[in-house]
Amino acid sequence: MSSRFGHKIVIATALLGGFLAGCASAPKTTIVHPLAHSANMAAIADIRSWLDRESRAARSLNASGDITVDQSGESNSASFTLKSKRLNASGNRIDSLSIEVMGPFGIKVARFLASPQEYKFYDILHGQTMSGATDPNSLEDLTHLQGISLEDMSDILYGLVNNDRSENDSVSLYSDNERHHALIIRIPGVSTAALDFDGELPRDSSSGDLTLVRYQRWNGTPGSITTTPPAITVHFAEPTLVNGLSIPQHIEATAGKNKLTLEYDHVKVNPPSLIVRIKMPH
């Protein structure tokens, strides 16, 4: 592997919180369904409550699989293992993350560590280290993704999105009244998000079989989300129930000209003995 690939791994790990740009071709799993605007406020509340429940249930993750990064006409693949600690025992966000990337014959070539305070990336193969404060500015410099955060990166690993409320946000629902729905959330001057779902809408904590299949985000509030390409998007596919939580086994993402394909082959959700070391070596 070249040092150039080492820098692509930095992009790849950050793209776990990144998305599919509107100008890029959609994955084969995408199917377009005609949706009409719905004034069903109860359905909106049910969807957001479902997102909250899924978020509260996703505390930690231990996973392995394959990652492929396509950039500027070149493609590089590797295997990876990750450990994520998203919530503590009190349900508060802590977002500690460790990702190790292996090359041929299982040789460890890169490691990415992040806590809310700082991150470090080790190019083990070439003895290079990158580090800095874990804030939007540093992560944007590192990933070239506007508005990326450690919480975004953490959420995507679980097939989740940020569902924080704002007193200034406006929410619209589009649906075919059957199994396909889209929620548009606008926070004036901050961001606009589109969440696409498949499945029956939940009506209580036990009903429904909703699955999040795509998330798009625009920075700010564009005049039209149908004609303005999103800044970031992520597609989820092949959901599998793991310890009561639906986890996508396939994530295909692109940001600009950078494309990421993430395939899980082994997943543990909320393992009792998971430890994520967040102390940064000097």
Question: Cα(202)–Cα(209) distance, rounded to whole angstroms?
Answer: 7
Per-residue tens of pLDDT for the chain, all 282 residues: 444 444 444 434 433 333 222 223 334 444 555 788 888 888 898 899 899 999 999 999 999 999 988 777 788 889 999 999 999 999 999 999 999 999 888 889 999 899 999 999 898 888 999 898 888 777 766 665 656 788 988 999 999 998 888 778 889 999 987 788 898 998 888 889 999 999 988 776 566 688 999 998 888 888 888 888 888 889 999 999 999 899 999 998 777 677 788 999 999 999 986 555 555 555
**The pLDDT value given to residue 267:** 96
Instruction: Name the residue among 87, 105, 107 with its Cα closest to residue 96.
Output: 87
Instruction: Name the residue among 51, 29, 11, 60 with its Cα closest to residue 273.
Output: 60
Question: Cα(31)–Cα(33) distance, rounded to whole angstroms?
Answer: 6
Contact predicate 134/114, CB 8 Å: yes
Question: Cα(185)–Cα(167) distance, rounded to whole angstroms?
Answer: 12
**The pLDDT value given to residue 190:** 84
38: exposed, middle or buried (Cβ count in 10 Å: 0-12, 13-18, 19+): middle
pTM value? 0.80
Pair of tokens at residue 203: 């009506």
CA angle 20, 230, 192 (to 5 degrees): 120
DSSP bridge partners of 267: 63
Q: At what angle do helices 3-15 and 136-143 cross, to 10 degrees?
A: 130
Which residues contact residue 101 at a Cβ distance below 8 angstroms, ignoring those fewer than 6 apart?
9, 12, 67, 78, 79, 80, 108, 109, 110, 111, 112
| Placement of tokens 């109860």 in the chain | 42
The beta strands (E) that lie in the chain are given as: 36-38, 60-71, 74-87, 93-102, 108-114, 118-123, 128-133, 170-175, 180-187, 191-198, 211-219, 232-242, 245-255, 258-269
Domains of the chain: 3-269 (2.50.20.10)
**The pLDDT value given to residue 222:** 85
**The pLDDT value given to residue 136:** 75
Alpha-carbon distance values, 153 to 12, 108, 162 (Å): 11, 22, 10
**The pLDDT value given to residue 114:** 92
pLDDT digits (tens, 9 = 90+) for 213-258: 999 888 888 888 888 888 888 999 999 999 989 999 999 877 767 7
**The pLDDT value given to residue 92:** 95
**The pLDDT value given to residue 155:** 93
CA angle 195, 172, 200 (to 5 degrees): 55
| Placement of tokens 């957001």 in the chain | 48
Instruction: Name the residue among 67, 90, 87 with its Cα closest to residue 14.
Output: 67
**The pLDDT value given to residue 17:** 34
